[in-house]
A and B are shown apart, each in its own frame.
Chain A
Amino acid sequence: MSEQSQSAGGAPNAVVIGASAGAIQALLHILPALPEDYTLPVLIVVHVPAGRRSELTALFAAKCRLPVAEGEDKEPILPGTVTFAPPDYHMLVEPGGTISLSRDEQVFFSRPSIDVLFESAADAYGPALVGVVLTGANEDGAQGLAAVAQAGGVTLVQDPASAYARAMPEAALKACRAARRMSLDGIVAALLAAGRR
Chain B
Amino acid sequence: MEDEKIEDIEIRLLLEALYRRYHYDFRNYAQASIKRRLRQARDRQGVATYSALQDKLLHDPAAAAGVLRFLTVQVSDFFRDPSYFKAIRETVVPHLKTYPSLKVWIAGCSAGEELHSFAILFREEGLEDRTLFYATDINQDALEAASRGIYPLDRMKAFTENYRLAGGKASLSDYYSTGYGGAVFDKSLRDRVVFSDHSLVTDAVFSEMQLISCRNVMIYFDRDLQDRAVGLFRDSLGRGGFLGLGSKETLRFSEHVGAFSEFVREEKIYQRRQA
* Residue ranges of A at the interface with B (Cβ–Cβ < 8 Å): 70-76, 86, 89-90, 92-95, 98, 100-104, 116, 119-120, 123-124, 126, 151-152
Taking the closest CB of chain A, its distance from the CB of B40, in whole angstroms, is 9
Per-residue 0/1 for B67-78: is the Cβ within 8 Å of any A Cβ (1 yes, 0 no)? 000000011000
Sample of 20 further A-B pairs with CB below 8 A, known A103-B216, A116-B36? A70-B248, A73-B218, A73-B219, A73-B246, A73-B250, A75-B250, A89-B248, A90-B33, A92-B32, A94-B31, A94-B32, A95-B31, A100-B220, A102-B30, A102-B33, A102-B36, A104-B36, A104-B37, A120-B32, A123-B32
| A89-B248, A103-B75 as given contacts; A75 in contact with B32, CB under 8 Å | no
Identify which of A72, A76, A89, A120 gathers the most chain B CB atoms within 10 Å of its CB.
A72
Could you say which residues of chain B place their CB within 8 Å of the CB of A124? 32
Taking the closest CB of chain B, its distance from the CB of A9, in whole angstroms, is 15
Q: Which of B4, B220, B249 meets A72, CB within 8 Å?
A: B249
Closest to A122 in B: B4
Q: Which of B1, B74, B223 meets A103, CB within 8 Å?
A: B74
A119 touches B30 (CB 8 A): no
Could you say which residues of chain A place their CB within 8 Å of the CB of B250? 72-75
Cα–Cα, bound, A80→B30 (Å): 24
| A74-B226, A86-B248, A152-B1 as given contacts; A101 in contact with B219, CB under 8 Å | yes
| A74-B253, A75-B253, A103-B219 as given contacts; A95 in contact with B32, CB under 8 Å | yes
B35 touches A100 (CB 8 A): no
Interface size, B (range): 20 to 34
| B16 at interface by CB-CB < 8 Å | no
| A92-B32, A120-B32 as given contacts; A126 in contact with B1, CB under 8 Å | yes
8 contacts between A and B (CB under 8 A): A70-B248, A73-B246, A86-B247, A86-B248, A94-B31, A120-B33, A123-B35, A126-B1
Taking the closest CB of chain A, its distance from the CB of B230, in whole angstroms, is 11
Closest to A76 in B: B253
Closest to A119 in B: B36
| B222 at interface by CB-CB < 8 Å | yes
Q: Which of A76, A94, A101, A116 meets B248, CB within 8 Å?
A: A101
Cα–Cα, bound, A120→B31 (Å): 9
Could you say which residues of chain B place their CB within 8 Å of the CB of A95? 31-32
